[in-house]
Chains A and B, each alone.
Chain A
Amino acid sequence: MGALTTRKDTVSRRAALRTGALIVSFGLAGWPASGWPQEGATPLKSGPAPRPVDPHQVDGFLAVNADGSVTIFSGKVDLGTGLRAAIPQMAAEELGIDVAKIKLIEGDTATTPDQGPTSGSTGIMRGGIQIRQAAATARRVLIERAAQRLNAAPDSLETADGHVRPKSGGDGIKFADLIDNGRFNLTVDPKAPLKDPNTYTIVGKSLPRPDVPAKVTGSHVYVHDFSVPDMLHGRVVRPPAIGAKLVSVDEDSIKDLTGVRVVHIGDFLGVVADDEWTAVRAARALKATWSEWNGLPDQKELIAALRAGPLARDEELASRGEAGTAPADAKTIKATYFWPIQTHGSIGPSCAIADVKPNQATIWTASQSTHRYRHAFAKFLDLPLQAVRLIYLDGAGCYGMNGHEDAAADAALLSKATGRPVRVQWMRQDEHGWDPKGPPQLLDLVATIDADGRILDWLTQMWIPEATKGLPSIPLLGPQAAGLDQAHGIATGLISQNAEPPYDADRSRVIAHWLTDTPLRPAHIRAPGKIANCFAIESFIDELAAAAEQDPLAFRLRGLSDRRGIEVLKRAAAMLNWQPRLSPGPNIRSPISRGRGVAFVHYKNQETLVAIGMEVAVEHASGTVSVERVVCAHDCGLMINPDAVRAQVEGNILQTLSRALMEEVKFDHSHVTSVDWSTYPILTFSDVPKVEIDLIDRPTEPPLGVGEAASAPVAAALANAIFDATGVRLRRAPFTKERVKAAIG
């Protein structure tokens, strides 16, 4: 560790503020009371006692409590996504107990199994499924044990209301009475039979999400609101240029602020104070000299820079079919698409609390990956893994990896340096300036079609950064600045998926030109890569349809063989009352012209199916695009909680409209320059269109993810609608009015 200097001011101890409230169920007239027990419970200062966290054991996931309740331990966390309702619903259904009797613990490395990060829309389809299987295993054993006690055949018994009881009626036995010390000591059986979906009484219901009442009354404890005794408030002073080195610090510059300590470790510079505002003032006032750094490329030349590399390698990601001989009247169409660097744009800047002691560390964080980052924290804090505990608390929505983990590392470094628990909340310019970004994506598409519009040959080429193989977690800013031990490399999420058309083609290929790096530190951002890829592929399909002089919907349907895909496309089209015709439409010369567009995704080629339709109005004089109506048909298989699904679909649509219409991170040679909401504007209420969503429920199909899929087709549907309205094809997001006006000419 580098030099550590602190001012000698004694920092007065203060009573930590307490937050939170103990709650109770809620019930409102006209709204079903759910009586969820877990909501509002104040997070324990130390967290619950450590327990077995083996994901292969039933006990890893659930505990039967003496009071008749069941606690579920979930490695996947609720990010505002509804898991807090859906996972208890799945567990309650499979066990045979009222959902109100389920308590849920999330994302605590000492008490929940490592189910992988909460990312990639896997919360239900992986995490929920694991928990459901543990519950099914538990149910089978509960029934077997009750059968012995009651001297009855197992298939004459059922579970209900937390009891095993005869199907024919009569007294049953409480779950707790069938389990010694609340432990099953049982391996999760992947073949334990599941309940017949036709008998579901809890799964498939739009139960109210349990955290909503506390969120709307102010008693929900976000990580931002959490505190521990003796806690200091910290702020980090980031350099004016991304790669700048700390030359000197003038601690006298803040001598008027009492009780402030300055911490610098290598190039890591931070302040702590008793109260938050003093920490903010100190971070602003502290004078430091940094070295020059200007290693970012010219943003105006970014596309050329991506094409120029350097490349790690080229890789053929997909190749199917054989190219035949193109007939003489075949047409070859080419286009280049670009998706800009974007930020997660969390409304609350990242925050964390760390309590680092010489022999152990506890970190309260909104990380989506507490288990994964536990290793990183142990490494840079130089502690054994077992001595490090990360406990999840809600943050502001992050939709990928924003600054949550970085803020937690900042807090940990400041806590270790000061010997006190430290809370760090980033400022707005920290979040916009330093959160990991969605990387830029460049796609060249070329396709040959015959006179009838059949795709003879298709090639997608992508210039995207290559994720470092085996990288355990994304390097964090604080340890990097401090020169501490951590893994090096980049991660992006799976950004190369959905890069080939989901339609028939004689031959289809995808080639990735993997770049060795990307201008700003990347991370996964909602639907990583798929929004850009689907934007390109589904816009290009419309280009092919136009070249073939065919209706874009008919062009798609003819090439699509997936029954569920056909259904979502037809349903979305029906919502728009789609009448077949060529695009662009008839009114492209009007001062305000209107158009419609459609786009489709089969997410990751194997998950949720979504079709989005859109109606837009484009004002030619200003270039302003008004999205008037969005329709969406959505098939995610079994829906655990349809209203929670609907909320996710609404969010996907609105957030991606924002990304497509207005979002692009700006930077100069040394740093991000779009560091607030005026330089990085997002969608506001006046931009919100009418949204209609048709959710297709398939109770006998596996549940699929809903946190991302509906975002993928949004930009293409929008670009296709703008083309339909104006005859102008937009191949570069965002579709700002300046860009649209320039394109219309």
Chain B
Amino acid sequence: MPAYELRINGLPRHAKASDPDQPLLYALRSLGLTATKFGCGLGQCGACTVLVDGQAQRSCLTTVADCEGKSITTLEGLGSIVTPHPIQAAFIAEQVPQCGYCTSGMIMTAAGLLARNAKPSEADIRAELEGNLCRCGSHIRVVRAVLRASGQGG
């Protein structure tokens, strides 16, 4: 089975895939990086969002072959419970998730935004997250957490 050399969360990883068009999502999950979730496979919900070379991308629409040589960051790569990334810490402080299935994609989208814009307005945050769906209704807390993570509010 062909393998693709990816850089994931700062480490070189070897992703086997019988199909070059296999979405990155499945490669990540089969490497045990299951924070990244399958939501629609259509790029409509944002649950599978990761950073590819610092940009938020839908891993369900990004092929593993296209990621060769690129640097990928997943939710696991941001931080851990012991040493959470500021966005993760803010999501904990604001008690954001309910079911939490969309949370990984929300945080990765926010991470992409904050990398470009350290002090986004609430309108900026909402616009950036427009393509990330949440069914539980955690939106209010998501926005509050991203503001907190950028040093605004909290």
A428 x B41 contact (CB < 8 A): yes
The distance in angstroms between the C-alpha atoms of A213 and B91, with both chains bound, is: 8
- State the Cβ distance, B45 to closest chain A Cβ, in Å: 6
B133 x A677 contact (CB < 8 A): yes
A3 in the interface, Cβ–Cβ < 8 Å? Answer: no
A170 in the interface, Cβ–Cβ < 8 Å? Answer: no
Q: Given A222-B101, A647-B141, verify A275-B47 contact (CB < 8 Å).
A: no
- State the Cβ distance, A246 to closest chain B Cβ, in Å: 24
A28 x B93 contact (CB < 8 A): yes
Stretch touching chain B among A178-186, A575-583, A685-693, A718-726:
A685-693
B133 x A275 contact (CB < 8 A): no
B42 x A677 contact (CB < 8 A): yes
- State the Cβ distance, A34 to closest chain B Cβ, in Å: 11
* Mask of A674-717 contacts with B, CB within 8 angstroms, 1/0: 00111000111110100100000000000000000000000000
Q: Give the B interface residue count (CB, 8 A).
A: 66
B133 x A215 contact (CB < 8 A): no
Q: Find chain A residues with CB under 8 A from B79 CB.
A: 217
- State the Cβ distance, B87 to closest chain A Cβ, in Å: 8
Residue of A nearest to B35 (CB): A218
- State the Cβ distance, A94 to closest chain B Cβ, in Å: 24
The distance in angstroms between the C-alpha atoms of A536 and B109, with both chains bound, is: 39
The distance in angstroms between the C-alpha atoms of A214 and B59, with both chains bound, is: 21
Stretch touching chain B among A190-198, A276-284, A370-378, A616-624:
A276-284
Interface SS, A side? loop
Q: How large is the interface on A (under 10, 10 to 19, 20 to 34, 35 or more residues)?
A: 35 or more
Selected contact of A397 from candidates B42, B74, B136, CB within 8 Å: B136
Q: Find chain A residues with CB under 8 A from B103 CB.
A: 215-216
Selected contact of A399 from candidates B75, B104, B135, CB within 8 Å: B135
- State the Cβ distance, A531 to closest chain B Cβ, in Å: 14
Q: Find chain B residues with CB under 8 A from A31 CB.
A: 92-93
B100 x A80 contact (CB < 8 A): yes
Residue of B nearest to A17 (CB): B32
- State the Cβ distance, A640 to closest chain B Cβ, in Å: 15
B99 x A394 contact (CB < 8 A): yes
B101 x A347 contact (CB < 8 A): yes
A647 x B17 contact (CB < 8 A): no
Residue of A nearest to B80 (CB): A217
* Mask of B113-136 contacts with A, CB within 8 angstroms, 1/0: 000000000000111011111111
Q: Find chain B residues with CB under 8 A from A688 CB.
A: 126, 139-140, 143
Interface Cβ pair total, 8 Å cutoff? 205
The distance in angstroms between the C-alpha atoms of A118 and B45, with both chains bound, is: 27
B151 in the interface, Cβ–Cβ < 8 Å? Answer: no
B56 in the interface, Cβ–Cβ < 8 Å? Answer: no
A348 in the interface, Cβ–Cβ < 8 Å? Answer: yes
Q: Find chain B residues with CB under 8 A from A18 CB.
A: 32
- State the Cβ distance, B84 to closest chain A Cβ, in Å: 6
B19 in the interface, Cβ–Cβ < 8 Å? Answer: yes
Selected contact of A428 from candidates B40, B98, B101, B135, CB within 8 Å: B40
Q: Find chain A residues with CB under 8 A from B140 CB.
A: 650, 654, 688, 691
The distance in angstroms between the C-alpha atoms of A717 and B76, with both chains bound, is: 42
A209 in the interface, Cβ–Cβ < 8 Å? Answer: yes
Selected contact of A224 from candidates B31, B34, B82, CB within 8 Å: B34
Binding site for A on B (CB under 8 A): 17-19, 22-23, 26, 29-42, 44-45, 47, 74-76, 78-82, 84, 88-89, 91-93, 95-104, 107, 125-127, 129-143
Binding site for B on A (CB under 8 A): 17-19, 21, 23-24, 26, 28, 30-31, 40, 79-81, 208-209, 211-222, 224-225, 258, 275-278, 280-281, 344-349, 394-397, 399, 425, 427-428, 643, 647-648, 650-655, 676-678, 682-686, 688, 691
A216-B96, A395-B101 known; 15 new pairs, CB 8 Å cut-off, are: A17-B32, A17-B34, A31-B92, A216-B100, A217-B75, A222-B34, A277-B17, A277-B19, A280-B26, A281-B19, A397-B99, A653-B137, A654-B140, A655-B135, A685-B125
Question: Mind listing 24 A-B residue pairs with CB under 8 Å?
Answer: A28-B84, A212-B97, A213-B81, A213-B84, A216-B100, A216-B103, A217-B75, A219-B80, A220-B100, A221-B34, A344-B135, A347-B102, A347-B135, A396-B37, A397-B99, A397-B136, A427-B41, A428-B39, A428-B41, A647-B98, A651-B138, A684-B131, A685-B129, A688-B140
